[in-house]
Structure 1
């Protein structure tokens, strides 16, 4: 059963920049630890849906940073690598990547599976918002980006899995919302349980929406 979840951005920028956002993520992760879960699992978007052990390695070298976490050959995708880095010296119990193009139903099923994986489950969900929020954003600026981003921020703030479950995959792809699938996994894990939500920080440097949030 899901007892707590944190949402943090999967950007490598958080390693060298964005100090306030990184601090907010550390606060959210500390609250996950305080929930005393039986298992802590990191969830993030990737090219495919896969399972990795908690000691699995990842690296940020392809993004120009000499940062490697875990043990062995680095195989974690970016989102999970950043999540592992944010966790610091304590490894999670496992990692789950979810395909960026996974359907909403597939995300819900994966979330339900994770929610049933132990009596007390905590999730670190690596997910960001739209990358089309300004003319200088990585994606093409789109008027629909801000309302979509606001929907995600409000869902995190109010611990509303129903709102996350309704995120449209096609619109998310158009608006460069790479966190859509991971957020819908969170919705599936939460189910109909009630949580208290806190949006610890929301920011959009370089036109990309980043969140630090907590459900407890």
Structure 2
């Protein structure tokens, strides 16, 4: 059963060494993410599932202790998914590496951790079914869900300006902040793809896990720096 969830965006710029001189610009976002992770620890889960968008080669599960790195971005920063455990052979996808960094910053030791890389094009029904299965796999399950909103909020955004982006993000933020699983399940898959929404599939996995759990949500952060929608929410 899902007992808590934290929703965070997954730009590598959350890692100060990656952001370098621009790091202070995201201080408020980092603080909100750490507050959301604290919600998970307070719920005393038996298991923490960390999920985020992943490309074709990075989908699937990652064990506790799986390694990640930001060396490809030119910084000497390595992470592991949770403490101890086997290292595994595959490196974490970027979204899960950012999650691992957040967990390390909070000294996570509240429960065993496992990761799941979710294909960004995964159909809504399969996302919901996956969430239900994950939530039923242990007595008290918490989720750390990584994913960005639209990448089309300004002309300088990665996907350029699209007038549909702001309304989509506003609806997603409301749903995440209210722990509204029905609204998350109803997100338009094709529109999300067109707006380069990296978080759509992970959010819909969360929607499946949260069905009937009776959780309440709180939106801790909402903004679009660099033209990309970033939201932080805690469910408890």
- TM-score interval w.r.t. the shorter chain? over 0.9
Alignment of 1:11 onto 2:11: yes
Distance 1:166 1:146, change over 3 A: same
User: Which residue matches 1:152?
Assistant: 172
User: Which residue matches 1:111?
Assistant: 131
| Mapped partners of 1:161, 1:9: distance in 2 | 18
Instruction: Check whether the contact 1:59–1:74 (CA below 8 A) recurs between aligned residues.
Output: no
User: Which residue matches 2:20?
Assistant: none
SS at match of 1:32: helix
Give the CA deviation at 1:62.
Answer: 1.7
Q: Identify unmatched segments of 5+ residues in structure 2.
A: 17-22, 81-86
Structure 2 counterparts to residues 52-131 of structure 1, below 5 A: 52-70=62-80, 71=87, 75-88=91-104, 89-90=107-108, 92-131=112-151
Q: TM-score, normalised by structure 1?
A: 0.96
Q: Identify unmatched segments of 5+ residues in structure 1.
A: none
| Mapped partners of 1:96, 1:74: distance in 2 | 12
Give the CA deviation at 1:63.
Answer: 2.2
| Mapped partners of 2:34, 2:108: distance in 1 | 13
Give the CA deviation at 1:93.
Answer: 1.5
Give the CA deviation at 1:113.
Answer: 1.0
SS at match of 1:83: helix
Q: Which deviations, in whole Å up to 9, do the C-alpha atoms of 1:153-185 show, x marking residues without a partner?
A: 000111101111011111111101011000000
Over the residues paired in the alignment, what is the CA RMSD in angstroms? 1.3
Give the CA deviation at 1:206.
Answer: 0.6
SS at match of 2:50: strand
